[in-house]
Structure 1
Amino acid sequence: MVRVIGRRLLQSVPMLLFISVVCFALIKFAPGDPVQAFVTPNMNPEDVERMRHSLGLDLPGYVQYLIWLKNVVIGNFGFSLINHRPVLAQIVERIPATAGLMGSSIVVALLLAIPLGMLAAANRNRWVDKLLNMISYIGISIPSFWFAMLLIYIFAIELHLLPSMGMRTIGMSSTWDILKHGILPCIVLSFSHISIYIRYIRSNTIGQLKEDYVQIQYAFGSTKRQILFRHVLKNVLLPIITLLGLSLPDLIAGAIITETVFSWPGMGSLGITAVFGFDYPIIMGITLFSSLLLIVGNLLADVLYSVVDPRIKVAK
């Protein structure tokens, strides 16, 4: 197992290198100039060029990339072009907020989707199944930013039940205050994944209910509830591990949109601010960390799958 993990980590190095090349090229081809953020109406062209030289933006694109790559290898992700703070420090500051939001949304999605998906399968083609299918189609179809604004209008503006932005109320540092601020972003981020997981669990449960071991349990006198939660559930949960790894890209993309709408102080809102400000070092740093998170997440999913399913161990 250790050799497999080490080999997967080594294989991720060229993938990260390729991602960094593509991202750097897209940044350079994109319209806009970060120097314009510092230009004033009274500034001479010589001062503008001097500033461009001090930032290293007058060098050829491939030279800029090689300099950036050399610094990253030694752990230096550079400084922000906007606030001149270290890129790594800003990302590390935002990781807990993003990790907390993504982690809570995954937990909520699984806790709701597993029983609801099995309930839909157990009541196939009945009103419960049709209702859950309709909710799932809605969750898959609606845009997350529209759903976020709808929740803000209902729960923050009309009902005044929950805060609409930020992670903390000014002057308050309680855990309950953080939880209240995180309820709406967590609902938005988890709703679409709940819908996907419900459909997936429903389909797998229906397939498992047709297997021979289910009929044998019926012959032994087991109830439908006992069969679902003692036998079928174990077989249904195995593919969910792989589905979690595959849903990480959508989860990160959704976190960027959700954090922007709710002004959640995570990596997503930092990345959007960097894009609008042409802050290239921040964009590259967040892209690299997001890619690394995806690779590690898929690796953990594969490892966990092999731990849970003994047949994979035997095959290896």
Structure 2
Amino acid sequence: MRRFIIRRLLQTIPMLFFVSVVCFAMIKLAPGDPVLSFVTPNMHAEDIERIRHNLGLDKPAYVQYGIWLKEVLQGNFGYSLVNHQPVLQQILDRLPATAGLMGSAIGLAVLLAIPLGLWAGANRNRWIDKTINFFSYLGISVPVFWLAILLIYLFAIHLHWLPSMGMRTIGVQSAADVIRHGILPCISLAFGFLAVYVRYIRSSTIGQLKEDYVQIQYAFGSSKTTVLFRHVMKHVLLPVITLLGMSMGDLVAGAIVTETVFSWPGIGSLGMTAVRGMDYPLIMGITLLSSVLLILGNLAADILYGIVDPRIKGAR
């Protein structure tokens, strides 16, 4: 396992290099000029060129990339063109809000998806399976922003049960207040994750129920519930591990639409602000860190595969 982890870590190096090139190229090809953020109406052309030179934007693209990559490797993601604050510090300040929201949504989705997917697969083509499938297709099809607006109208405006936006009530610093503000965005995010997870678990359950070990357990007198939750569940967790690894990138990128609708002060809303202000260093920082976390999440998923399934560990 140690050799496998080292090999996978080495494989991530060229991948990270490719991701950095793509991130830099996307920003360079984007419309607009970063220098315009510093230009005032009465500024002379010589002053504009001086700003361009100080920012290093008068150099060839490959030289700019080399300078940027060197700074990134040293932990310096540059400064925002809008508020002139360090990019990395802004991301780290917003990271707890996004990580808490995304972690809660993913955790809730997994806790609900495992029993629902198992029961749907065990009752294939029956009414319970068709009902769960209906809501799964609904969760995949319904736009997140539409669901978020519907929840706001129902629970915040009509019933007055929950707050509609923000992360805290002004003047209130309790954890219960944060939880109340996070219920609606968490449900909006969890509904989409839940639909995907249920489909994967249901499909895996149907395949596992055809295996010989299931028939042996029934022959020994095990109940349907025991077979599902004690034996089949161990095997259907493998696709869930993959999905969780692929969700790691969301811990930085966040749910951009959801955070914007609910005014949640996370990285998603920070990214939207950066896009509207053409804040290229901030956009590059968020994109790069999201890609790094996604790659590390896939690596963690591969390692967990070996822990959960000894056969995979032995093959490696």
TM-score w.r.t. the length of structure 1 is: 0.93
Letter in 2 for 1:60: P
SS of aligned partner of 2:284: helix
Structure 2 residue 59 is matched with structure 1 residue 59: yes
Distance in structure 1 (CA, Å) of the matches to 2:49 and 2:236: 62
Would the aligned equivalents of 1:144 and 1:258 in 2 still touch at CA under 8 Å?
Answer: yes
Distance in structure 1 (CA, Å) of the matches to 2:180 and 2:103: 16
Structure 2 residue 233 is matched with structure 1 residue 262: no
Q: 2:15 maps to which residue?
A: 15
Match runs of 1:174-189 below 5 Å: 174-189=174-189
Structure 1 residue 303 displacement after superposition: 0.6
Q: Which runs of 4+ in 1 moved over 4 A?
A: 247-254
Distance in structure 2 (CA, Å) of the matches to 1:199 and 1:302: 21
Structure 2 residue 215 is matched with structure 1 residue 215: yes
Residues 1:82 and 1:254: Cα distance change in structure 2 (over 3 Å): closer
Q: 1:144 maps to which residue?
A: 144
Deviations 1:78-118 (A, max 9, x none): 11111111111111111211211221111101100011111
Structure 1 residue 152 displacement after superposition: 1.7
Distance in structure 1 (CA, Å) of the matches to 2:256 and 2:8: 27
Would the aligned equivalents of 1:140 and 1:195 in 2 still touch at CA under 8 Å?
Answer: yes
Q: 2:284 maps to which residue?
A: 284
SS of aligned partner of 1:265: coil
Residues 1:250 and 1:68: Cα distance change in structure 2 (over 3 Å): closer
Would the aligned equivalents of 1:136 and 1:195 in 2 still touch at CA under 8 Å?
Answer: yes
Structure 2 residue 78 is matched with structure 1 residue 78: yes
Distance in structure 2 (CA, Å) of the matches to 1:12 and 1:48: 40
Q: 1:201 maps to which residue?
A: 201
Deviates more, 1:66-75 or 1:40-49: 40-49
Letter in 2 for 1:183: I
Distance in structure 2 (CA, Å) of the matches to 1:286 and 1:20: 12
Would the aligned equivalents of 1:136 and 1:198 in 2 still touch at CA under 8 Å?
Answer: yes
Sequence identity (%): 71
Distance in structure 2 (CA, Å) of the matches to 1:250 and 1:102: 7
Deviations 1:118-155 (A, max 9, x none): 12223222221111111000101111122222222222
Structure 1's unaligned 5+ residue stretches are none
Letter in 2 for 1:307: I
Deviates more, 1:291-300 or 1:88-97: 88-97
Residues 1:280 and 1:69: Cα distance change in structure 2 (over 3 Å): same
SS of aligned partner of 1:244: helix
Distance in structure 1 (CA, Å) of the matches to 2:252 and 2:92: 16
Q: 2:229 maps to which residue?
A: 229
Q: 2:192 maps to which residue?
A: 192
Would the aligned equivalents of 2:98 and 2:254 in 1 still touch at CA under 8 Å?
Answer: no
Structure 1 residue 248 displacement after superposition: 4.5
Structure 1 residue 3 displacement after superposition: 3.0
Q: 2:244 maps to which residue?
A: 244
Letter in 2 for 1:234: K
Distance in structure 2 (CA, Å) of the matches to 1:252 and 1:142: 23
Deviates more, 1:270-279 or 1:285-294: 270-279
Letter in 2 for 1:97: A
Letter in 1 for 2:150: L
Structure 1 residue 266 displacement after superposition: 1.6
Q: 2:168 maps to which residue?
A: 168
Distance in structure 2 (CA, Å) of the matches to 1:202 and 1:74: 45
Q: 1:126 maps to which residue?
A: 126
Residues 1:246 and 1:78: Cα distance change in structure 2 (over 3 Å): closer
Q: 2:43 maps to which residue?
A: 43
Deviates more, 1:240-249 or 1:206-215: 240-249
Distance in structure 2 (CA, Å) of the matches to 1:216 and 1:282: 57
Distance in structure 1 (CA, Å) of the matches to 2:71 and 2:247: 32
How many residue pairs align between the two structures? 316
Letter in 1 for 2:233: L
Deviates more, 1:209-218 or 1:288-297: 209-218
Distance in structure 2 (CA, Å) of the matches to 1:213 and 1:278: 58
